[in-house]
Structures are given as structure tokens and as C-alpha cells.
Chain A
Amino acid sequence: QKEVEQDPGPLSVPEGAIVSLNCTYSNSAFQYFMWYRQYSRKGPELLMYTYSSGNKEDGRFTAQVDKSSKYISLFIRDSQPSDSATYLCAMSVEGNEKLTFGTGTRLTIIP
């Protein structure tokens, strides 16, 4: 079993829809949770960063962490074609520099 599981998709939704992307994990020591967006032929770009449980909102993006279920989510509201990319979750243990990544979900927003 992988430490971090992420549905690879691909996921296609119409423009304006709400998108839900998810990761599950097995290591209860993870405390830092991140979401990255990666456009084709580009490096990953940090979207959201959350420490421990709870919600964090930034514009159209909301990150949720449920440590009791070992489950994190990224919601994208009013999705735009420019949101079409691969989304990667990542997490780490406090005091440890190593990040563990999911495999990424390829998202396409259909105009």
C-alpha cells in the first residue's frame, strides 16, 4: 500500500462546475499538507498549504484536511479552462524535510 493514494483520473468537468480532488494517506504522523498544480511541461506550482486539520480558502480554492479519516481534499469553485492541469497532493511529517507526493490527478475543464 502506498503512503499516499490519489486517483489519477483523468477527470473532465464542464466550465463553471465545482471540482473535488482527493487524497488519502496512511501515515498518521503527517502534519503538513500541500496541493500543487502542474501544467504540461512545467514544474509543480504550490497552490495551497495547510498545517494539521481544518479548512483553508484562497479565492476559488479550498483545501480541507480531515486527519481522523486521513483524507484531504481540494475544491475548485467556478472552474475555468485555465484550471486544466495535473493536481498533486503532498504531505510531510513535522521536523522532516521529506515530502511524500500522490501520483497526481489530471483535470480537464471543458469550455
Chain B
Amino acid sequence: SAVISQKPSRDICQRGTSLTIQCQVDSQVTMMFWYRQQPGQSLTLIATANQGSEATYESGFVIDKFPISRPNLTFSTLTVSNMSPEDSSIYLCSVRGQNTEAFFGQGTRLTVV
């Protein structure tokens, strides 16, 4: 299994500002995944980050709102831009194991006020 470090673990932000979340993996991986987990709801995939190419976004998520960087095979960032209270959620970074099982970081708990 991979060890995934995510930071910050939590933050309280003012509406209209942006927050960048960092994800570091202890091994090289081709794809990294970013999820959102809203209270009482299942995990929702935001986008898949591939090294050396543009991220692939799921329906309902756009690059202007959630820009992603993937500078190398062990690191990725997700930015939540122009935040509103509706963006308050847990954001999770994930990588896959050999059999498609997912491993997660500890998450970033974001509160927008």
C-alpha cells in the first residue's frame, strides 16, 4: 500500500479566496485522484491527475474552479478557487494499488465562511 501525505489537514477560509491542497505519495504513481466528500454523501471524484498532461475532470467539475497540477510522479496539488460556503467539504487525494483498490490521504477539511 502507498503512504499518502496531504496538507493542510484542515483550514477555515474566507469566501472569494482560494486554497491549494498538496498531496505527496511515497512512491511513483501514474495517476492521482482527487475526491470530494460532502457530509452525508458518498465520495465524488473531481478529477484524475496524470503526470505530464492535463487533468481529466468529471462531469460537474471544471478546471477554472479546481485547477490541478501534477509536476512529477509523486506530487499533486488541487486548488479550490473563488470559494463559497458550498465548497465546504473534505477533499481527498487518492492513488490506486495493483488491483484498482484505492488508497487515500487523511483528507483536508475545508470550511468556507
Contact = CB atoms under 8 A, between A and B. Distances in A.
Contact of A44 (B31, B43, B100): B43
Interface residues of B, number: 24
Nearest to A4: B42
A51 B33 CA distance: 22
A101 interface: yes
A97 B100 contact: yes
The contact size tier of chain A is: 20 to 34
Chain A contact residues: helix, strand, loop or mixed: strand
A99 B40 contact: no
Nearest to B108: A43
Interface string B67-91: 0000000000000000000000000
21 contacts: A4-B42, A8-B40, A32-B99, A32-B101, A34-B102, A36-B104, A41-B107, A41-B109, A42-B107, A43-B4, A43-B104, A44-B92, A46-B101, A46-B102, A49-B101, A88-B43, A97-B100, A99-B45, A101-B43, A103-B40, A104-B42
